[in-house]
Chains A and B, each alone.
Chain A
């Protein structure tokens, strides 16, 4: 790539980010602080903290995030330690399966959790059958307002993020660090607390911050549990009168500021710990063999957590095949009707078409932008490339809800981007929204490939007469094809099941993508929920296939996609 091309790529990417990342956020911020007469006011923000409904929403979102993060840590930390340190039966298989809960949409899984843990669900039916529970007074597992349902779904969905971050930190710890402690008389839990834990804190913080922000701003799961007294859901319902009401704006800004502060705080803590200069490990740590009992205990724990994480989706699958599942352990009768129904229903077929269209276009945009940005960042010396890199990673830290709201705000009648208004035609704005949110995965994947591919290969081609662009096309791109494909596949599959953008931006039924169709179907009475499940199963199959393919292409590096 010549310098001129690099500058052009840089300029284009920067403009793209300016208009479709900074602008929507700016528009939201303006909505939160501007009076109808365009003056500045803090009244809306103050009002958010004075209105008991909003305060309750914020408090609930915060508690939800704290409890979800704590539960996630409780699952992920022992899991990571076991998987890094011990050899047990099924270790390879279970480690390979660890990402599966991550990629199954929690929003769909929530339906399954309700089927299983609801008052008339499978668990109560099982306990009744065992005579442990009174039929007349079933246990309310999900709790008042279904708070625990949301927490469980969040934790089961997000523990792989933390797991990957912690295992990455663990594998970076020089085994000699722990041996030095043992040599000086410190072993067991004491060693873990004094040496190992402080050394892996960066990983715990990085993963914990992602989980916290994710849970704090999660829209799909509380919506499916009808847990409405939480800020993201309040914002979602506030969108209906977005043009006249400043409070959704103010709420979004409060969420945004909280997440940015949290993100900055976690970076600060990470920066201060200054563990960056750890010397290279010299001795082989590796997993240690355990006694038979302990080894099978590890297998049971690891396998149990994985099975638990798949349970919601099992519930969805069962529901999709059942004609009646209410108050019984398993569905009382089985049918394939819903799958036909799901494919025959005008809403579902159209939504699959729409999702394919949105996701493909977004993926193409991501791959083009991603290659350009990754190349400029890794292979050129342009000033400001670090800034571009940071910019491309930022969508990871900004909640999808905030951006989706911003897109809606900036395309309102009378605004600069009115021509993209989703009520008129959502195609462009949804594609952009999907693309911006998934761009970090593509950039990271391609950049990893470029870093592993020597520049001299490209120089050799140039030396033999290929122009810089031709050398890029003929030598480098084929070499990093696996990375491009993997990044693209991830972008595609996440776009297919994107929730916030889809729910907020697709406003007419004929524009609904799959996720909004599932949401709408679930609201219908009668066979609606079963149709939603059937559609969900189609979506899960599809997602599992693409992520499996990405896993084959990227191998272990797939985990790197979910690290800060």
Chain B
């Protein structure tokens, strides 16, 4: 179990900065996610940790060992590739045994460990199969076994589930988490799927344009996004312009076109009265009521889409259109064109200036 430290890492491809002065620390045994849209630099960062990308400046440390100039084959990481990269000319067992053969592990021990690794991903009966005979999910398990069997210092996963169908993806998510925790591995996991990151990660970093936009536990990043970019990349949200009216501690009263309500300052923005700000409120962060209180804003229901476990509403409030999600929607359904009162429960003031 090692900690992975990234120190001021920069990598340019031509004039494009794929990594722009990135620093972060991944704790021992942590399942850490790199999340972001394609081209944000997350794969480049992972490949820099694996050693396939040589950074222009900055360092990569495994615990206290500087591995920046260590070639990939000496880093002792286990990597899972997006395409799995299983060798079609070798059987399942030979694929898994490959890394042990390279380490010079004697045959009896090798065979035992290959068997164990295949068993740990529930593929022990497929040892003699050819790669071409396996389904996508099975290939994924073999790739995981191949990466784990060498007892790597860290497991690196490059969008490992992107080639699977939705149902298998759900199953493999928890499988990967189970295996990582069972082996006590430090793992870095790259994905562009926010659901995957939220459901599996211990902590995650949202990346954009070669920089880290925010690091935190899934619920922190989701409920307290620091920026519009993070708020909009992870989940859906309503962004409202407003002006700070007053501030008491963390709680700030904001005036928006939709009305006045209180919000939390998530970032380090100096939100003093009179400052223009952006407020993010998630669609599920509203409560719909029939009564007007000082915490609510009046809003007219414009459209509604019923989806079973919840309903998606659109409200017009003072010139703003608000997306509102209602869980367990009322049996007597809401009436289009009627006025309701919306109470914002989870309003966050973003760091961005409007």
Contacts and interface: CB of A to CB of B under 8 A. Distances in A.
Interface of A: 174, 176-177, 179-187, 194-195, 198-199, 201, 273-283
A201 B103 CA distance: 26
B82 A184 contact: no
A174 B83 contact: yes
Nearest to A175: B85
B242 to A, nearest CB: 43
Contacts of A276: 132
B74 A199 contact: no
Given A184-B98, A276-B132, A195 B87 contact: yes
A199 B77 CA distance: 24
A183 B83 contact: no
27 contacts: A176-B81, A176-B83, A179-B72, A179-B79, A179-B81, A180-B79, A180-B81, A180-B86, A180-B146, A181-B87, A182-B71, A183-B50, A183-B73, A183-B75, A185-B74, A185-B150, A186-B73, A201-B89, A273-B89, A275-B89, A276-B132, A277-B131, A279-B83, A279-B85, A280-B83, A282-B82, A282-B158
Q: Which 7 A-B pairs have the closest CB atoms?
A: A184-B99, A176-B85, A185-B102, A198-B89, A279-B83, A176-B81, A180-B85
Contacts of A177: 85, 87
From A176, A185, A199, name the one whose CB has the most chain B CB atoms within 10 angstroms.
A185
Interface string B119-159: 00000000000111000000000000011001000000010
Contacts of A184: 73, 98-99, 102, 146, 150
A187 to B, nearest CB: 5
Contact of B99 (A185, A273, A279, A282): A185
B78 interface: yes
B83 A274 contact: no
B52 interface: yes
A187 B70 CA distance: 13
B98 A274 contact: no
B192 to A, nearest CB: 13
Nearest to B143: A180
A287 to B, nearest CB: 15
B132 A274 contact: yes
Given A179-B52, A182-B51, A274-B130, 14 more contacts: A176-B81, A182-B71, A183-B78, A184-B99, A185-B150, A186-B98, A198-B90, A199-B89, A201-B89, A273-B88, A273-B89, A275-B89, A277-B132, A278-B88
A281 B85 CA distance: 9
Interface in B199-252: none
Nearest to A284: B13
From A183, A274, A277, name the one whose CB has the most chain B CB atoms within 10 angstroms.
A183
B163 interface: yes
A180 B102 CA distance: 12
Interface residues of B, number: 36
Contacts of B146: 180, 184
B32 interface: no
Contacts of B43: 283
B189 interface: no
A202 to B, nearest CB: 10
A277 B135 CA distance: 11
A363 to B, nearest CB: 41
B84 interface: yes
A493 to B, nearest CB: 38
A278 B134 CA distance: 12
B47 to A, nearest CB: 8
B77 A183 contact: yes
Nearest to B158: A282
Nearest to A190: B102
Contacts of B88: 199, 273-275, 277-278
Contacts of A181: 87, 98
Contacts of A282: 81-83, 158
A186 B43 CA distance: 22
Contacts of B71: 182, 187
A397 B159 CA distance: 44
Nearest to B81: A176
Contacts of A185: 73-74, 76, 99, 102-103, 150
Nearest to B131: A277
A337 to B, nearest CB: 57
Contacts of B89: 198-199, 201, 273, 275
B162 to A, nearest CB: 9
A182 B52 CA distance: 9
Contact of B87 (A199, A201, A277, A280): A199
A183 B148 CA distance: 12
A274 B74 CA distance: 32
B338 to A, nearest CB: 48
Contacts of A281: 83
Contacts of B84: 279
Nearest to B102: A185
A179 to B, nearest CB: 6
B322 to A, nearest CB: 40
B128 to A, nearest CB: 14
From B47, B50, B132, name the one whose CB has the most chain A CB atoms within 10 angstroms.
B132
